Amino acid sequence: MGYKRFYRRTQLEASDFLKDDCLVMNCTVGVVKNRLETPKNIQINVPPSDIGRCFKELFELHIGCDITFEVGDEKVQAHKWILAARSPVFKAQFFGPIGKPDMDRVVVEDVEPIVFKAMVNFIYSDELPSIHEVAGSFSMWTSTVVTQHLLAAADRYGLDRLRILCEAKLCDELTSETVATTLALAEQHHCAQLKSACLKFTAVRQNLGAVMETEGFNYLEETCPSLLSDLLATVAVVDDDPSSVNRKRGVCINEDVNPVESVEASDRRTRRRV
């Protein structure tokens, strides 16, 4: 065992290697690699998730449906367990302490068929459906109106992601014709970011006059008079600092309108416009 060619003690003591009873040894260590290395430029492409497409196919082909919703003159078939997994309202309705897991028919009121179908479509696909997908090419419904109703339905059924998607779409579609009704909707359903965007869009000098001529603004005055005070405060901020608003498009931002503690200095100027 071991290496046979060792230095004898007597030879070492008589050699020049030993100086002042000290021996310095230089060692060279070699490392042998035996693992297989893969080239760094080789990658395996992983396809995106298709779970939404698969669930949506179940919905569109009515495979294994166990619940039918009667919405106006239309019927929508679905799966209770999928609805319950996505919406706390459906979960309580079907599987809660006072739920009815054996029910196979539900009458839905106060929701338009096109809106309910769009909502169920989202539940399965996790995507905001297009207006043509749920209403067809010849529908009289506009994208903004459907999205406004869909936001209300999302709030009713506890679909937070759908509600935020609707907020973002409404923010992108703001015009002088739609901003007043969208502002009232945002106030009713506590959509702070959408409300902020609507107020800042309306407060821009080039938009304010056109907005005030719409039926939606008249409705806003009658149903949400408190919003006029918010609008006054926003107009004052815009007049004092025009750069605070993106005049080109309005203003889809993540910050709420900053409250104005005192607008007396510009109250006369703003009241002439609102």
Considering the domain boundaries, does residue 222 fall inside one? yes
Considering the domain boundaries, does residue 229 fall inside one? yes
- Cβ-proximal residues to 11 (8 Å cutoff; 6+ apart), any chain: none
For residue 2, the model assigns a pLDDT of: 54
Considering the domain boundaries, does residue 95 fall inside one? yes
Considering the domain boundaries, does residue 23 fall inside one? no
The sheet carrying 74-78 orders its strands as 74-78, 67-71, 105-108
Query: Domain range holding 58?
Result: 51-173
The low-confidence residues of the chain, meaning pLDDT below 70, are 1-4, 34-39, 136-139, 239-274
For residue 268, the model assigns a pLDDT of: 38
50-65 confidence digits (pLDDT tens): 999 999 999 999 999 9
Q: Do 200 and 152 belong to one domain?
A: no
Interhelix angle 264-271/226-240, nearest 10 degrees: 110
For residue 155, the model assigns a pLDDT of: 97
Considering the domain boundaries, does residue 2 fall inside one? no
Backbone angles phi, psi at 183, to 5 degrees: -65, -45
Query: Which of 141, 173, 205 is where one domain is finished?
Result: 173
Q: Do 58 and 160 belong to one domain?
A: yes
CATH number, position 64: 3.30.710.10
Q: Do 93 and 136 belong to one domain?
A: yes
Tokens of 81: 């367990």
Q: Do 233 and 160 belong to one domain?
A: no
Residue 41 C-beta-side C-alpha neighbours within 13 Å: 0
Considering the domain boundaries, does residue 165 fall inside one? yes
For residue 266, the model assigns a pLDDT of: 37
Considering the domain boundaries, does residue 143 fall inside one? yes
Among 222, 228, 149, residue whose Cα is nearest residue 189: 149
Q: Do 207 and 156 belong to one domain?
A: no
For residue 241, the model assigns a pLDDT of: 60
- What is the number of domains present in the chain? 2
Considering the domain boundaries, does residue 126 fall inside one? yes
Q: Do 163 and 203 belong to one domain?
A: no
